[in-house]
Amino acid sequence: MLFAIYALDKEDSIQLRMDTRESHLSYLANSPLVFAGPLLDDQGNMCGSLIVLEMEDISQVKNFTDNDPYVIAGLFKKVEIRRFVKAFPPDTINEP
């Protein structure tokens, strides 16, 4: 099952993001990652994260999120986890 993690950074936290970025990327490298990347504000600065994972259930996703170095460092002001269905491209559709 696919899950999307949508996380918004706290205000004025770019230095905290940069200080923990390598640990975060290493953490993602050892995960069931489908894709991930930073969210950008209107000026093109990183202001959050979007991560899509393939996991069995939401409890695994919550555990993954709780152990993310960004979360441990207190970077995010808000984190949402939602089930996700890949609809396009249609070659690998994941039905709900």
pLDDT band at 91 (very low <50, low <70, confident <90, very high): low
If we measure between CA atoms, which residue out of 66, 35, 32, 30 comes closest to residue 49? 35
Q: Which structure tokens are listed for 42? A: 């209107």
Across the range 78-87, mean pLDDT stands at 94
Q: Which structural domains are found in the chain, ordered by start? A: 2-92 (3.30.70.1060)
- CB–CB of 35/54 below 8 Å? no
pLDDT at 93 over 90: no
pLDDT band at 42 (very low <50, low <70, confident <90, very high): very high
Please tell me the predicted confidence (pLDDT) of residue 23.
97
Using DSSP, state whether 69 is helix, strand or coil: helix
